[in-house]
Structure 1
Amino acid sequence: MPNRLNEKVAVVTGIGSGMGRAAALLFAAEGAQVVGCDLNEENSRTTVAEIIASGGSAVSLQPCNPSEPDEALALIDLAYRSYGQVDVLYNNAASVHFAPIEDMSIEMWRATMRGELDIVFNLCKAAWPYLRQRGGSIINCGSVSGKMAYEVLPAIAHSAGKGGVIAMTRQLAAEGGKYGIRANSISPGLVRTGATARRIDDPDWFAPMKRKLMLNGQVGTPEDVAYCALYLASNEAKWVTGADFAVDGGTTAW
């Protein structure tokens, strides 16, 4: 069914690369007016230009770091000034430090909490008044690391941050239901992106990760995650809220 997001305004963070870029392109192809942001100015503009060249509609704010409350407000304000409404908020972007606990400094810990928890809170807070007007869909990017541990991934801060995102999403669903606001999270497993490719191509690192992938050790793609986000953004998911969707090749079922 084409145009699944027709007449919807979708805010997507981290559109410059990876899962955010894939979601922005897919949302626009399905009829959404996309409002994006990224810290990388060139990549963000490239994604917007590609959407417009394909006949879609998009604007972006860059550089933009929504872990800062003022920048989150500026992004939502751009959406409202450009298109007059906010229907979908896809909190894809995050920043994280990986280290075992003995090497995790308090500065790294706090930066990860800002980059994984504050960034979601700030944007939900900024978008809430507009979502209340019409209802809408909040989609937060969790992670399998919020529910399990990997042998070769020193993710104490990341696990705490993404576990918090999954819990926060349930609470947002509870508070938003009376306004027609749905809130769900997506928990990707190992997805090949520019940030993960080097690790995936290291056979020693990848071997224990591969054992957790039921589908013949196949890693995910950004598009795999984007299609789940598309469903949650669409009216097809009008009775879906407070849920976490594992897009992980069976990792958390193993």
Structure 2
Amino acid sequence: MKTYIDQLGFSHTFETSPKRIISLVPSQTELLYDLGLEENLVGITKFCVHPYHLKSTKKIVGGTKKVNYDKIRDLNPDIIICNKEENTLEIVEELRKICPVWITNIITIEDNFQMISDFGQLFNCRTESQKINDKLDFALTEFKKFVKGKPAQKVTYFIWKNPYMVAGSANFINELLKLNNFENIYDKGERYPEIELKKIRLDGDPDLVFLSSEPFPFKEEDAFEIGRFTHHAKTVFVDGEMFSWYGSRLLKAFEYFKILHSKI
């Protein structure tokens, strides 16, 4: 019997390493695959698009905010992987009636290292998790050297329309903005504040406006509309996965950020 503690402080005891895994978090599905656990994955969400072939080889059990409990029950999972931000408390409580639910909570890059290490312990793939963390540690060090000395620029990072919402404080997007030496004008306490376009300049007058590809896929007409209120700010379409997906995706993100800096 071994006991493990997840990132919300819940204790989980297993006689053997969990074998049948359901993941309700797209970025964590990708991480589980990169840890060599493809055969253990029995269920995923419709948003688990990396690697792409999983959508045709694994059972789709719903989305991140709405799941099919009967499908999940039929898969007879040993463990279900959730995330505090991605999945609702209601879903988690219902899933606990089926099997143990492991909850991650990723706000900082350090949290990301911890999650990968936790998965290594939990699923008996410590060597693989250490390799990923070592690569991330090296890439992070190199990226900090790359960004050192680059001038700080004020940014607004849009995630939603109708109503317009932006990345605020205490979330992974904001952590990666800070890592890139971008000053988020909405880093003021609220995690994902709703904003009024006409107040953007009063709120902080950004130098850069980032329009994310997810969860809302911003288009050119959105850039035009937002641009009417930001005046001198440069509008940049950014890959939302690179700013909001954690796990092993962060390795690709560092290279993406270098290219992004060359464009702005």
> Under TM normalisation by the shorter chain, which class is it?
0.3 to 0.5
Q: Which has the larger radius of gyration?
A: 2
Could you state the TM-score of these two structures normalised by the residue count of structure 1? 0.33
- TM-score (normalizing by structure 2): 0.33
Which structure: greater helix fraction? 1
